[in-house]
Amino acid sequence: MTDMFTKLAIYFQYPFVRYALIVGVLIALCSSLLGVTLVLKRFSFIGDGLSHVAFGAIAIATVLKLSNNMFIVLPVTVICAVLLLSAGQNAKIKGDAAIAMISVGALAIGYLIMNVFSTSSNLTGDVCSTLFGSTSILTLSVSEVWLCVILSAVVIIVYILFFNRIFAVTFDEAFSTATGVNAKAYNLLIAIIIAVIIVLAMNLVGSLLISALIIFPALSAMRVFKGFKTVIFCSAVISVVCAVIGLLVSILASTPVGCTIVAADIVLFLIFMPIGKAKA
Amino acid sequence: MTQLKCENVSLGYAGHAVVTNLNFEVNAGDYLCVVGEIGTGKSTLIKTLLGLIPQLEGEITRADGLSARDIGYLPQQTAFQRDFPATVGEIVLSGCLGHCAGRPFYNRNDRALARKSMERLDIYHLKRRCYRELSGGQQQRVLLARALCATSRLLVLDEPTSGLDPKATAELYDIIYDLNKKDGITVIMVSHDLKTSVKYASHILHLSAESIFFGSRSAYERSALGRVFLERIEEEHHD
- The model's pLDDT over B65-118, given as tens digits with 9 standing for 90+, comes to 677 677 888 888 777 777 788 999 999 999 888 877 778 888 888 899 999 999
Q: Is A175 on the interface with B (CB under 8 A)?
A: yes
pLDDT for position A237: 95
Residues of B in contact with A218 (CB under 8 A): none
CATH numeric code, B1-66+156-161+192-239: 3.40.50.300
Residues B131, B132, B137, B140, Cα dihedral to 10° = 50
Q: Which amino acid is at A277?
A: K
pLDDT for position B81: 77
Q: Is A40 on the interface with B (CB under 8 A)?
A: yes
pLDDT for position B104: 84
Closest CA–CA distance from residue A225 to any residue of chain B (Å): 7
Q: What mean pLDDT is reported for chain B?
A: 84
Mean pLDDT of A155-174: 91
Contact B90 A227 (CB under 8 A): yes
Q: Residue A97's pLDDT band (boundaries 50, 70, 90)?
A: confident
pLDDT for position A57: 85
The domain locations on chain A are 2-275
Mean pLDDT of B2-30: 84
Nearest CA in chain A to B13: A90
Q: Residue A133's pLDDT band (boundaries 50, 70, 90)?
A: low
For residue A257, pLDDT over 60 is answered with yes
Contact B73 A179 (CB under 8 A): yes
Contact A231 B52 (CB under 8 A): no
Query: What is the percentage of chain A residues whose pLDDT exceeds 70?
Result: 89
Q: Is B77 on the interface with A (CB under 8 A)?
A: no
Nearest CA in chain A to B72: A179
Do residues A57 and A69 lie in contact, with contact meaning Cβ atoms separated by under 8 Å? yes
Please indicate whether residue B142 or residue A96 has the higher confidence score (pLDDT).
Answer: B142
Task: Tell me the pLDDT tens digit for each residue of B166-202.
Answer: 888 888 899 999 899 888 899 999 887 777 777 888 8
pLDDT for position A186: 87
Do residues B89 and B114 lie in contact, with contact meaning Cβ atoms separated by under 8 Å? yes
By CB atoms closer than 10 A (0-12, 13-18, 19+), residue B110 is buried
Closest CA–CA distance from residue B94 to any residue of chain A (Å): 6
By CB atoms closer than 10 A (0-12, 13-18, 19+), residue A148 is buried
Residues in chain B: 239
b vs e for B36-66, b when ≥16 Cβ sit within 10 Å of the residue's Cβ?
beeebbbbbbbbbbbebeebbebebebeeeb
pLDDT for position A180: 78
Q: Is A144 on the interface with B (CB under 8 A)?
A: no
Mean pLDDT of B120-147: 90
The domain locations on chain B are 1-66+156-161+192-239
Q: Is B133 on the interface with A (CB under 8 A)?
A: yes
CA A80 to chain centre: 15
Mean pLDDT of A124-134: 70
Mean pLDDT of A12-32: 87
pLDDT for position A67: 58
Q: Residue B237's pLDDT band (boundaries 50, 70, 90)?
A: low
pLDDT for position A112: 87
Of A172, A180, A222, nearest to B75 by CB-CB distance is A172
pTM assigned to the model: 0.85
Query: What is the percentage of chain B residues whose pLDDT exceeds 70?
Result: 97
Please indicate whether residue A263 or residue B199 has the higher confidence score (pLDDT).
Answer: A263
pLDDT for position A91: 58
Please indicate whether residue A98 or residue A250 has the higher confidence score (pLDDT).
Answer: A250
Query: What is the percentage of chain B residues whose pLDDT exceeds 90?
Result: 14
**Whose CA is closest to B190, among B212, B164, B159?**
B159
Closest CA–CA distance from residue A169 to any residue of chain B (Å): 9
For residue B203, pLDDT over 70 is answered with yes
Of B73, B97, B156, nearest to A165 by CB-CB distance is B97
Contact B86 A171 (CB under 8 A): yes
pLDDT for position A161: 93
Do residues B154 and B188 lie in contact, with contact meaning Cβ atoms separated by under 8 Å? yes
Partners of B22 in the beta sheet? B9
pLDDT for position A175: 87
Contact B71 A179 (CB under 8 A): yes
3-state secondary structure B40-83: CCHHHHHHHHCCCCCCCEEEEEECCCCCHHHEEEECCCCHHHHH
**Chain B interface, mutation test: which of A176, A226, A233, A235, most B Cβ atoms within 10 Å?**
A226
Residues of A in contact with B71 (CB under 8 A): 178-179
Q: Residue A176's pLDDT band (boundaries 50, 70, 90)?
A: confident
Residues of A in contact with B81 (CB under 8 A): 171-172
pLDDT for position A238: 95
Tell me the ipTM for this assembly. Answer: 0.85
Contact B106 A164 (CB under 8 A): yes
pLDDT for position B80: 73
For residue A89, pLDDT over 60 is answered with no
Inter-chain Cβ pairs, chain A and chain B, closer than 8 A: 92
SS3 B125: helix
Do residues B156 and B205 lie in contact, with contact meaning Cβ atoms separated by under 8 Å? no
Q: Residue B219's pLDDT band (boundaries 50, 70, 90)?
A: confident
CATH numeric code, A2-275: 1.10.3470.10
Contact B75 A175 (CB under 8 A): yes
Please indicate whether residue A225 or residue A4 has the higher confidence score (pLDDT).
Answer: A225
Nearest CA in chain A to B51: A178
Closest CA–CA distance from residue B110 to any residue of chain A (Å): 12
Q: List helix spans (H) across B100-216.
A: 108-120, 136-150, 166-182, 194-200
Which residues make Cβ contacts (< 8 Å) with residue B193, sequence separation at least 6? B161, B169
Between positions 137 and 166 of B, the ones with CB within 8 A of A are 143, 146-147, 150-151, 156
Least confident range from A79-93, B15-29, B163-177: namely A79-93
